[in-house]
């Protein structure tokens, strides 16, 4: 059977709707599902800030694929870089034998974004891999067994990353996990001070919590963690998997507080839409992975095509001024959300965020609101560790007019909810 999911045009034998229904059926039958049920629509294409389904309906994407499409879907410069690279070579031995120029180029840009003292990176594919590698690195460097993490934190689902992720119902079925992980309340320096001690290898923290509800800490929190780590001889790891590559209006969210961590992890938007992650530290720190040699390995991390896409995405952020744009348009977005909160004070009860990384809290179940907005052509999302939170993180290329359209649709849905 011939199928066409690039748009609404029918095939020689099936309509676009029939094609979509066939894919829905086969998806449920063939793919292992951790979220059961029939899916809302079949993806046809995506461009800029929009996603179009296989039946031709276009949606404004206010999720960026959970923070991946920071430069927009299918940015022409990213597409061109991918096409050019894959025509040269798609994959080679990425660690140990050869120099891969695309890896050098992307790491040059990542360390420039991070600033001193960062001068090296270990390339991987996903955020969980990056956090896993960071845990290994800090434990090996310090020789200490303990990690301190935070309530509502999310760092991934592999064993190590899951061990420092907060939600117990997801950790319990896979225990025993890493021993000596202590969770303390986020943005509570007194609690952190009681936890960080001479056995602590590292404190791992999201500078702005993503799955915890886009929670922005008080101004003394990250500087205070830096001091606690220094006093205890522990290392400070900042998880920038969601917050990196301009999401908050800075290259990395921790830069809002002028804090220098020991290790940065990043993924999601790093590859411009392709799987690319990195652990950023110093060459001196990474030397521990060579003692003994091959202490940490990857087959696909730093894939040349993903690196080429990452180079192009970084350059787009610079050339199009997207850090400043995210700051400016993000302020406009939050102002609009706050205005809606004033109109519906019993329903929209909190607005928070930085740059184009925002959330609003509702006093009712958020899922019907999310579903209704999708019916009206706008994609928003929830978060894993905070019920009632609606996540807003559109591509950084979003226009003020598109933000205003989102606000108009949200106003309609809020009005329906209070009618």
Q: What is the pLDDT of residues 99-146, one digit of tens each?
A: 999 999 999 999 999 999 999 999 999 999 999 999 999 999 999 999
Both 223 and 123 in one domain: the answer is yes
Are 100 and 219 contained in the same domain?
Answer: yes
Closest by alpha carbon to 206, among 237, 170, 249, 166? 237
Residue pLDDT, tens place only, 22-72: 888 888 888 887 777 777 888 899 999 999 998 899 999 999 999 999 999
Question: What pLDDT sits at residue 63?
Answer: 96
Q: Does any domain span residue 123?
A: yes
Q: Are residues 400 and 252 in the same domain?
A: no
Distance, CA of 362 to CA of 265 (rounded, Å): 31
Q: Which of 119, 99, 100 is nearest to 110 (CA)?
A: 119
3-state DSSP call for residue 387? coil
The answer to whether residue 280 is domain-embedded is yes
Residues 179 and 127 in one domain: yes
Q: Is 241 helix (H, G, I), strand (E, B) or coil?
A: coil
First CA to last CA distance, the chain: 48
With beta carbons less than 8 A apart as the criterion, state whether 32 and 44 touch: no
**264 belongs to a structural domain:** yes
**Shared-domain flag, residues 351 and 290:** no
What is the C-alpha separation between 279 and 263, in angstroms, rounded?
7
- What does the pLDDT read at residue 1? 35
Asked if pLDDT for residue 96 goes beyond 90, the answer is: no
Flag whether the pTM goes above 0.85. yes
CA 6 to chain CA centroid, Å, is 26
* 82 and 157 belong to one structural domain: yes
Q: What share of the chain is helix, strand, coil (3-state, %, to 5)?
A: 40, 15, 40
Distance CA 333, CA 328 (A): 9
Percent of the chain with pLDDT over 70: 96
Contact yes or no for 256/248 (Cβ under 8 A): yes
Closest CA relative to residue 104, chosen from 362, 298, 242, 307: 307
Asked whether the beta carbons of 188 and 203 are under 8 A apart, the reply is no
> For residue 213, is pLDDT > 90?
yes
What are the backbone dihedrals phi and psi of residue 232, each rounded to the nearest 5 degrees, phi first? -95, -5
Among 29-43, 83-97, 227-241, 363-377, the minimum mean pLDDT is found in: 29-43
Q: Can you give the C-alpha Rg of the chain in angstroms? A: 22
The pLDDT tens digits of the residues spanning 272-301 come to 999 999 999 999 999 999 899 888 889 899
CA angle 112, 294, 240 (to 5 degrees): 35
Q: What's the CA gap between 11 and 13, in Å, rounded?
A: 5
Q: Are residues 286 and 335 in the same domain?
A: no
Per DSSP bridges, beta strands 200-205 and 235-239 are: parallel
The confidence score (pLDDT) of residue 385 equals 79
Supply the range of the domain harboring residue 134: 77-319
Q: How many domains does the chain have?
A: 2
Instruction: Tell me, yes or no, whether 12 lies in a domain.
Output: no
Distance CA 240, CA 350 (A): 24
Using one digit for the tens of pLDDT, what is the confidence trace for 384-410? 878 899 999 999 999 999 999 999 999
72, 63 Cβ separation under 8 angstroms:
no
29 inside domain: no
CB half-sphere exposure, 94, CA atoms < 13 A? 23
Residue 144 inside a domain? The answer is yes
The answer to whether residue 15 is domain-embedded is no
pLDDT digits over 301-354, tens only? 999 999 999 999 999 999 999 999 999 999 999 999 999 999 999 999 999 999
For 187: left if phi > 0, alpha if psi spans -120 to 50, otherwise beta; the answer is left
pLDDT of residue 8: 41
In tens, the pLDDT along 222-249 reads 999 999 999 999 999 999 999 999 999 9
| Strands lying side by side in the sheet with 58-61 | 43-47, 50-53, 58-61, 378-379
On whether both 135 and 246 belong to a single domain, the answer is yes
Output phi, psi for 89, to 5 deg.
-165, 140
Among residues 260, 290, 319, which one ends one of the domains? 319
**Domain check: are 376 and 351 in the same one?**
yes
């Amino acid at each position: 059977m011939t199928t066409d999911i690039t748009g609404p045009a029918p095939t020689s034998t099936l309509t676009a709707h029939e094609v979509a229904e066939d894919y829905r059926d086969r998806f449920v039958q063939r793919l292992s599902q951790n979220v059961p049920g029939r899916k809302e629509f079949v993806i046809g294409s995506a461009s800029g800030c929009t996603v179009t389904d296989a039946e031709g309906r276009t949606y404004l994407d206010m999720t960026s694929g959970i923070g991946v499409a920071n430069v927009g879907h299918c940015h022409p410069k990213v597409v061109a870089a991918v096409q050019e690279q894959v025509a040269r070579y798609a994959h080679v031995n990425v660690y140990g034998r050869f120099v891969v120029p695309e890896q050098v180029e992307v790491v040059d840009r990542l360390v420039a974004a991070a600033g001193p003292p960062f001068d090296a990176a270990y390339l991987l594919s996903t955020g969980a891999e990056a956090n896993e590698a960071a845990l290994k690195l800090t434990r090996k460097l310090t020789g200490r067994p303990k990690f301190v993490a935070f309530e509502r934190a999310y760092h991934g689902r592999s064993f190590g990353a899951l061990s420092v992720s907060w939600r117990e119902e997801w950790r319990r079925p896979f225990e025993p996990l890493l021993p000596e992980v202590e969770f303390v309340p986020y943005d509570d320096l007194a609690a952190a001070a009681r936890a960080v001690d001479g056995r602590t290898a590292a404190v791992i923290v999201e500078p702005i919590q993503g799955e915890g509800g886009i929670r922005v800490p008080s101004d003394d929190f990250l500087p205070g963690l830096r001091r606690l780590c220094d006093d205890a001889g522990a290392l400070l790891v900042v998880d920038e998997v969601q917050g990196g590559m301009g999401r908050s209006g800075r290259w990395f969210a921790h830069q809002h507080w002028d804090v220098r961590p020991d290790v940065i992890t990043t993924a999601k938007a790093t590859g411009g839409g392709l799987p690319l992650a990195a652990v950023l530290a110093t060459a001196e720190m990474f030397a521990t992975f060579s003692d003994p040699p091959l202490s940490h390995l990857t087959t696909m991390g730093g894939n040349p095509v993903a690196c080429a896409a990452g180079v192009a995405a970084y350059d787009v952020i610079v050339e199009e001024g997207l850090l400043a744009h995210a700051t400016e348009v993000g302020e406009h977005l939050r102002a609009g959300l706050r205005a809606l909160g004033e109109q519906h004070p019993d329903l929209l009860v909190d607005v928070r965020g930085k740059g184009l990384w925002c959330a609003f809290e509702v006093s009712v179940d958020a899922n019907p609101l999310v579903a209704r907005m999708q019916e009206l052509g706008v994609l928003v999302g929830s978060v894993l560790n905070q019920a009632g939170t609606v996540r807003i993180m559109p591509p950084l290329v979003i226009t003020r007019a598109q933000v205003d359209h989102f606000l108009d649709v949200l106003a309609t849905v809020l009005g329906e909810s209070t009618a």
